[in-house]
């Protein structure tokens, strides 16, 4: 049974980066969204969100990414809180403080992860069970990636984001690289120019990986691409240089773009190899955002 935190207690949550290991765009829906199939994993790096419960809903920004969000009229944290308040009468909200560490509009689901963290904090502040269906409903109302971020573990994400199938994955060392380019998802989908009428579909994505061995998963990942990578590369040719830099590091097992870009990732057998690779890439390209982490 959930319990309420002590009065005036500051609650804290991690908002880990979401990495799309694969992303297939299967078709256009009549509601304006696209049907997707994506194997999603979460990284050790991410934002941090705190909540001081109170009567007034507010958001304070800090961290290196704060200036990029300062002009936003409606941050996803606030949108998620309002969505849940519409479903839970008398919901206690309060003042959020977001430490923005992930690059913005980077294909890492940073805003969605922040929104999911806000929902988890509000659940704790109000004594809601973590599996309360209203949390999921508020997540989906906030954004297509928020339900997967609310789940917060590796899974296959289907539909427009409402279908979540858990899938255990082996852990990899990883390097995330963003050339400090903000990539609007809508622009990438327009560049994809999916030649389908609303309500029609392409061939389905391949079957989920059988088993979760490292070699088996890597073989499957190489056969299932990110359909948004080619149009993103057309919009941001520097992604070719990012890919080359990651491929040039020792032990890179897979290099691919996450989400709608412009962050690319490389997978390694362990954290030590990933950390060594990150140092090399960061030294060669100090203007890029480079982080070594763990995925799985």
| pLDDT at residue 203 greater than cutoff 60 | no
Beta bridge partners of 255: 266
| Length of the chain, in residues | 296
In angstroms, rounded to a whole number, what is the distance separating the alpha carbons of residues 50 and 59? 10
| pLDDT at residue 1 greater than cutoff 50 | no
- If you ran DSSP here, which 8-state letter would residue 60 be given? E
| pLDDT at residue 138 greater than cutoff 80 | yes
Span 6-32, pLDDT tens digits: 666 899 999 999 999 999 999 888 887
Answer yes or no: are the C-beta atoms of 217 and 168 closer than 8 Å.
Answer: no
Q: What is the pLDDT of residue 69?
A: 84
CA-based angle 129:259:132, to the nearest 5?
10
**Collapsed DSSP state (helix, strand, coil) of residue 124:** helix
For CA atoms 151, 154, 160, 164, the dihedral sign is negative
Count Cα atoms within 13 angstroms, Cβ side, for 268: 24
* pTM of the predicted protein model: 0.92
Answer yes or no: are the C-beta atoms of 51 and 45 closer than 8 Å.
Answer: no
Answer yes or no: are the C-beta atoms of 158 and 165 closer than 8 Å.
Answer: yes
Instruction: Return the CATH class of domain 11-166.
Output: alpha beta
By annotation, the residues acting in catalysis are 18, 145
Instruction: Return the CATH class of domain 172-295.
Output: alpha beta
Residue 270 neighbours by CB distance under 10 Å: 12
Tell the burial category of 192 from Cβ atoms under 10 Å away from its Cβ (0-12, 13-18, 19+).
middle
For CA atoms 20, 290, 114, 214, the dihedral sign is positive
- If you ran DSSP here, which 8-state letter would residue 167 be given? -
In angstroms, rounded to a whole number, what is the distance separating the alpha carbons of residues 276 and 186? 35
pLDDT, mean of residues 111-137: 98
The mean-pLDDT minimum among 89-103, 207-221, 242-256 falls in: 207-221
| pLDDT at residue 139 greater than cutoff 90 | yes
In angstroms, rounded to a whole number, what is the distance separating the alpha carbons of residues 212 and 228? 25
Answer yes or no: are the C-beta atoms of 93 and 80 closer than 8 Å.
Answer: no
Q: Where in the chain are the domains?
A: 11-166, 172-295
The mean-pLDDT minimum among 66-80, 107-121, 188-202 falls in: 188-202
Beta bridge partners of 19: 41
Beta bridge partners of 47: 15
Closest CA to 27 of 236, 202, 268, 247: 202
Tokens of 224: 């299932």
Beta bridge partners of 265: 176, 256
Rg (CA), the chain: 19
In angstroms, rounded to a whole number, what is the distance separating the alpha carbons of residues 184 and 163? 24
Q: What is the pLDDT of residue 74?
A: 72
Beta bridge partners of 53: 94
Closest CA to 5 of 129, 124, 85: 124
């Amino acid at each position: 049974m959930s319990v309420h935190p002590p009065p005036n207690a500051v609650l804290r949550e991690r908002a880990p980066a979401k990495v799309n290991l694969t992303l297939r765009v299967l078709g256009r829906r009549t509601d304006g969204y696209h049907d997707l199939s994506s194997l999603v994993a979460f990284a050790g790096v991410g934002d941090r969100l705190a909540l001081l419960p109170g009567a007034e809903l507010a958001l304070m920004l800090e961290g290196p990414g704060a200036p990029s969000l300062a002009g936003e009229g409606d941050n996803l944290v606030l949108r998620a809180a309002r969505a849940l308040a519409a479903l839970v009468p008398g919901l206690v909200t309060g003042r959020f403080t977001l430490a923005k560490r992930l690059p913005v509009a980077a294909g890492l689901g940073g805003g969605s992860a922040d929104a999911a963290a806000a929902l988890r904090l509000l659940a704790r502040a109000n004594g809601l069970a973590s599996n309360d269906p209203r949390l999921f409903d508020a997540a989906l109302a906030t954004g297509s990636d928020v339900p997967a971020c609310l789940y917060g573990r590796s899974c296959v994400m289907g539909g427009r984001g409402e279908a979540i199938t858990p899938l255990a994955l082996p852990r990899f060392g990883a390097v995330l690289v963003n050339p400090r380019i903000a990539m609007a998802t809508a622009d990438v989908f327009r560049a994809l120019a999916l030649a389908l009428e609303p309500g029609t579909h392409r061939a389905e994505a391949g079957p989920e990986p059988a088993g979760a061995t490292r070699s088996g998963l890597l073989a499957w990942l190489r056969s299932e691409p990110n359909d948004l990578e080619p149009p993103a590369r057309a919009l941001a040719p520097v992604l070719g240089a990012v890919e080359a830099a990651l491929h040039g590091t020792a032990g890179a097992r897979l290099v691919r773009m996450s989400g709608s870009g412009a962050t690319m990732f490389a997978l390694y057998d362990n954290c030590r190899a990933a950390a060594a690779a990150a140092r090399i890439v960061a030294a060669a390209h100090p203007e890029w955002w480079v982080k070594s982490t763990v995925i799985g």
